[in-house]
Homo-oligomer: A and B are copies of this chain.
Amino acid sequence: MNVRFGLRLGKGGRKMPPEALELVATRFRALGEPMRLRILQSLESGEMGVSALTETVGSTQPNVSKHLRVLQDAGLVKRRQQGTSVYYSIADARVFELCEMIRLRLRDRLEAQVGALNARLRA
């Protein structure tokens, strides 16, 4: 039998308190911007400096810096300074599992929609 995870805290089956809910929401929200996903995507192959990231994602340096701050506050990236350069890296690669789960569910949904559309066209 599949274990059912849930929005619970602790072993008592208590529901999440509002503060915890806010923290979870904040982390989801950090993943809810395409530019930040692009940054994470770029970092997947390894540590990168801000200038390199800026060029890779095709944005401006201040914008990338700001997004990196959001990602760091959410605990998604780590910061390492060396001289005048700052290198960012993925704090926990499991974040990509989250993205993959979302991506697979999206694909399933799109396929279901295509199937429904085909069924209607045959009718």
**Chain A residues in the interface with B (C-beta under 8 A):** 4-7, 9, 15-16, 18, 20-34, 36-38, 40-41, 44, 75, 92-94, 96-103, 105-106, 109
A98 vs B104: C-alpha distance in the bound complex, in angstroms? 13
Q: A22-B34, A31-B25 are in contact. Are A105 and B5 (CB under 8 A)?
A: no
Q: A22-B34, A34-B21 are in contact. Are A5 and B75 (CB under 8 A)?
A: no
Q: How far is the CB of A33 from chain B (nearest CB, A)?
A: 6
* Cβ B41 vs Cβ A7 within 8 A: yes
* Cβ B20 vs Cβ A25 within 8 A: no
Chain B residues near A98: list those with CB within 8 A.
98, 101-102
Q: How far is the CB of A78 from chain B (nearest CB, A)?
A: 12
Chain B residues near A32: list those with CB within 8 A.
25-26, 28-32
Max chain B C-beta neighbours (<10 A), residue from A40, A94, A103 = A103
Among B16, B22, B31, B97, the residue within 8 A (CB) of A28 is: B31
